[in-house]
Structure 1
């Protein structure tokens, strides 16, 4: 399943659980089972997110360098006279 499919399934299962909880109560077997199914979906979704992040690891040094140079360029582009206003 893809992330979008998991998001749709999670939303649907969450709505189902809310309806069951409102109509049958939070301690009802059906509500608890539905909650467990929602937990499984959420765990799979989170696992998929982590796998996706690890497949494209970021290089923190490159990112830090990019941020640093961007800010240095912004600072250097400020007109000199504006510091004293």
Structure 2
């Protein structure tokens, strides 16, 4: 007999929420990350995971099932003077 253990296959996502001062959708030198912003990931099964950006604006989510995912910034958690440059 053998001990054949199996674990679910998972994946992770990472990103950065930043102040896009020139509105080009790319984080350029000098464009600071934004801390405290909620990012909502909807995985391939339709389950949501919410993570919050840290001091440098980065975020990460682990243990997501493999497959397509949708990543959304919760705009209600952005500072009042910031708008989304990718959808405006």
TM-score, structure 2 normalization: 0.21
Query: Larger helix proportion, structure 1 or 2?
Result: 1
Query: Larger strand proportion, structure 1 or 2?
Result: 2
Structure with larger RCO (C-alpha < 8 A, sep 6+): 2
TM-score, structure 1 normalization: 0.22
